[in-house]
Amino acid sequence: MRSLLRVGSALFAFAATGCAGPTAAVVVRKPVPAVRCTRVLVNEVYVKRCV
């Protein structure tokens, strides 16, 4: 019985730390930066610049 508890606690500890990586957790998505576009007058012509 005692060995079963040790194995169970070891599996639980491994499973608790297995979902996180060096950059972030597996289920977390980082937000995509918003693209901002403006119209700029260059040589008497409007040009669309996106940053």
- pTM of the model as a whole: 0.33
What pLDDT was estimated at residue 41? Answer: 93
Domain spans of the chain, in order of start: 2-50
What pLDDT was estimated at residue 39? Answer: 93
What pLDDT was estimated at residue 4? Answer: 74
Q: Give the burial string for 2-35 (b: 16+ CB within 10 Å, else e).
A: eeeeeeeeeeeeeeeeeeeeeeeeeeeeeeeeee
pLDDT digits (tens, 9 = 90+) for 1-51: 777 778 777 767 666 666 555 665 566 677 888 888 999 999 999 999 888
What pLDDT was estimated at residue 45? Answer: 93
